[in-house]
Structure 1
């Protein structure tokens, strides 16, 4: 099943090279991807898909297309095009860092280190956190962290390993610890976002931007937590990060519907037409694979996580993938971007496609993503 799913994904990705040209896919409307000129937070995922496809197939067409995206990321950093956010890790871990991991290209390594420096500029004192969105002087956003940032921290951990400079790692550890303390709730659910007083660092409270309500659990946010804490554990071996990943994973899995693919928010009323978010389940599948790599055989959660991973991935392949739909642009149907905002609440999400392919590659070929160096 996994090989067939990968082959289908590779074929669609190859078709999309011609469809997308020099542009980058974001989310789709009515089955057609919206494209941009490398100015959105999601553009690294297309690059990552190209690198995964190249690693699997060896087809030089994927390598050439992937290298072209990295050239675009060189230009984006040089011209500072829409980089006033914390998603620098999404952009550069899956593009230039991927190129470094796959080809050991020194210019790609240097570009990735420059990107880490850009992310470090978002560190805010006295609060001691990475500001999620907006400029430092933006009063509305100056005190905001969001759970998504956990997937941007591997860029900083990696930069510290590469340079020997502890500042990158220290910032990442403090951000992960702050996320653990304030974004993870006592019942193992999570806030999407949390605010602090930017002048004093005093905690204000949790909220949401894309979830159902401030007190609800936005499923994609929970998914970022599962994978993000597992990656922070990989880099630090702090048992609290491993425990947080396990707690969030169990909550996510225990609140899934019968087909093992998440709705867009765990607190959204379930009725006919309630939107799913297949991308959240794809992220958790990839996160579970990372988490399982750190669990001993005797760990009481291991068998449960393994069982649920297989159930979720089987459901994604059999019920949500576009296998057999030769002209489909995306790999996973029924993803949700911003339900309250009315933006693509039931369509393809490029990050959903990426994490679905990453999970398949890891399950079938042992090819991990690009969040860390290969051992």
Structure 2
């Protein structure tokens, strides 16, 4: 297996090196006809490209990757300084793989300070009266004011980290409150997940589960399920709350139980299996990272460990052999899905799919773990 992972990493790094010049000062988001659409630094996905550059440098210490990673991180720092397009719950996706990565790799104090500032910016979306981070819209928005999203589980590591490095418990308390609410309301009784959930923003009373990108309000959006697996595993790593590990394992087992014969999942577990069904390789890449994290947290001799390890290896084998792109391609993984429901899914490359695919490879080959926590 190891040779396969090493070869896949080398192929990925060759594409990333070419993309440094292709992308220039801009940032990739999703692709159209196998060409990445580039944005100014104004999207929720900007941090993933920066994180890929830091991961590439972490792997082989190539100065070209380091120079590009520093340059893109500087752009992220400028965005933070200008408070530009940061009214989002996805601050963790933006700054954990950028300034957070720079701090972890280079121990740059300015990067550490900026990552804490990013945590402060995320805290502006915390609605203390009901203990949640609002997904979209301004405070007191009549439609979105009490709405949370499963994706935000992956933004909580930024807050847990901020408490550790500053000694200020407020970040951890807010993150813990959110994780508790997500566990109680976003995770259903059968261990599947809602994409979003509405609360009365004044009383905190639960209203209903809903979706934004899944097939239906009651369906299970596969990328959301993968966010849950990984997010609850990371929450357990930071807090050692056994409830979080249990939830990570429950959501992982639901995912595993519903794997299709082809192993790589479609965009929603409940979407009609017709000729127009779209796969989502990014959901499977995220799942691998979450499963690998779980393997670090459970008993190695257990049947659970063996089952998870088998599924992880099968999934990576299919991603590498059936979903990776050719040498000249810009993307690392093909057949990623963005938002089928909203008509924004080209069945092509998505930058978060590329990021988590590379993270998965580096986890398996080198024992790296992304930048979601520090190992002291």
Is the pair's TM-score, using the shorter chain for normalization, greater than 0.5? yes
Q: Give the match for residue 98 of structure 1.
A: 101
Q: Residues of 2 paired with 1:211 and 1:291: CA distance?
A: 25
Matched, 1:136 2:139: yes
Match of 2:39 among 36, 40, 57: 36
Q: Residues of 1 paired with 2:73 and 2:141: CA distance?
A: 30
Ranges in structure 2 where 5+ consecutive residues have no aligned partner: none
Q: For residues 23-46 of structure 1, give each alpha carbon's deviation from its aligned partner in whole angstroms, at most 9, with x where no partner exists.
A: 110011111111111100011000
Q: Give the match for residue 370 of structure 1.
A: 371
Q: Give the match for residue 178 of structure 2.
A: 175
The CA deviation at 1:272 is 2.1
Q: Give the match for residue 55 of structure 1.
A: 58
Q: Residues of 2 paired with 1:219 and 1:342: CA distance?
A: 17
Q: Give the match for residue 78 of structure 2.
A: 75
The CA deviation at 1:140 is 1.5
- Over 3 Å off, 4+ runs: none
Q: Residues of 1 paired with 2:159 and 2:66: CA distance?
A: 25
Q: Residues of 2 paired with 1:273 and 1:2: CA distance?
A: 31
Q: Give the match for residue 352 of structure 2.
A: 351
The CA deviation at 1:69 is 1.1
Q: Give the match for residue 161 of structure 1.
A: 164
The CA deviation at 1:369 is 0.2
Q: Give the match for residue 123 of structure 1.
A: 126
Q: Residues of 2 paired with 1:167 and 1:355: CA distance?
A: 29
Q: Residues of 2 paired with 1:249 and 1:176: CA distance?
A: 17
The CA deviation at 1:85 is 1.2
Query: Contact conserved, 2:212 with 2:341, CA < 8 A, in 1?
Result: no
Matched, 1:337 2:334: no
Query: Contact conserved, 1:101 with 1:374, CA < 8 A, in 2?
Result: no
TM-score normalised over the length of structure 2: 0.98
The CA deviation at 1:341 is 1.6
What SS is found at the alignment partner of 1:333? Answer: coil
Match of 2:225 among 210, 222, 225: 222
The CA deviation at 1:342 is 1.5
Q: Give the match for residue 272 of structure 2.
A: 269
Q: Give the match for residue 242 of structure 2.
A: 239
Q: Give the match for residue 194 of structure 1.
A: 197
Q: Residues of 2 paired with 1:243 and 1:345: CA distance?
A: 35
Greater displacement, 61-70 / 297-306: 297-306
What SS is found at the alignment partner of 2:303? Answer: coil
Q: Give the match for residue 251 of structure 1.
A: 254
The CA deviation at 1:5 is 0.4
Matched, 1:8 2:49: no
The CA deviation at 1:298 is 3.4
The CA deviation at 1:162 is 0.3
The CA deviation at 1:299 is 3.0
What SS is found at the alignment partner of 2:137? Answer: coil
Matched, 1:300 2:309: no
TM-score normalised over the length of structure 1: 0.98
